[in-house]
Amino acid sequence: MDVNAAVELYDRVANTPPSDLESASVSTGIDGLARFRALLARTILGQEDSADRELRSLLESDPKAPFTRLAAQFWDTYTMTASVRAACAQLAPDVEPQAGSMLVTLQSLGIEVRHDELCVIP
């Protein structure tokens, strides 16, 4: 997996305006997923300042959104452990309770991300 290319793709998704047919909740879910994964990829690449800016942007746009809460939890653990693997492991049991319904919605649209695949390290 090319993590640099993944960051570019996640950024493109997050910065693409929603279609007229897309509900606000679907748009929030798509953007939140892309931005969470961009934060994860930036962290993997060692771009901590950029990852921190991504989290701050998520918190400013919608602090209560499922992927925002998960991103904050991931980042808190990462800053304490300096380990992406540890942060993902700590996050794993909370993905389903916090974002399960959003993942089901995204899966219904053909976006195949399971709860155990949200925080993966290549």
* Model pLDDT for residues 20-42, shown as the tens digit of each residue: 888 888 998 999 999 999 999 99
Q: Is residue 61's pLDDT more than 80?
A: yes
What whole-number percentage of the chain has pLDDT above 90?
Answer: 75
The whole-model pTM stands at 0.93
Residue 92 located in a structural domain: yes
The structural domain count of the chain equals 1
On whether the CB atoms of residues 51 and 77 are closer than 8 A, the answer is no
Residue 122 falls inside a structural domain: no
pLDDT given at position 121: 78
The parent domain of residue 32 ranges over 3-117
